[in-house]
Copies of this chain bind each other. A is one copy, B any other.
């Protein structure tokens, strides 16, 4: 199976590029595969961003995330890769990805990465 690719992500023009506003998308049905054991991992991906010219389209995001379904990757790598891909296609003012995974061995982990200058507004 090929690695997840950003080619599947589609964008549309930001309808309000002159105003800095926040878009937050939560995908609670994320699943990937542990590269060591081959066992499935499950988690919730939360994407928060301030678009510049481009917004990502939601159905293409769903298909993009489904690429990880049978792909083996560590939590830290998955999170940073999703951020890299979404930044590449939307070139946002700011974007943050939080990936919260379900427990394994009684221990749960989340990873949070961001690109650009975090907003100081009271969002």
Distance in angstroms between the alpha carbons of A112 and B16 in the assembled complex: 12
The DSSP consensus for interface residues of chain A is: mixed
How many of these chains are in the complex? 10
A23 at the interface (CB under 8 A from B): yes
Distance in angstroms between the alpha carbons of A75 and B39 in the assembled complex: 23
CB-nearest residue of chain B relative to A105?
A: B62
Instruction: Pick from A58, A79, A96, A107 the residue with the most CB of B within 10 Å.
Output: A107
> Chain A: interface residue count, which band?
35 or more
Q: B70 and A113: CB pair below 8 A?
A: no
Distance in angstroms between the alpha carbons of A40 and B111 in the assembled complex: 24
Q: A107 and B69: CB pair below 8 A?
A: no
Selected from B24, B29, B59, B80, the residue in CB contact (under 8 A) with A110 is B24
Interface, chain A (partner B; CB < 8 A): 12, 14-16, 19, 21-29, 31, 39-40, 42, 51, 55, 58-59, 61-62, 66, 69-70, 74-77, 79-80, 96, 102-115, 118-119, 121-123
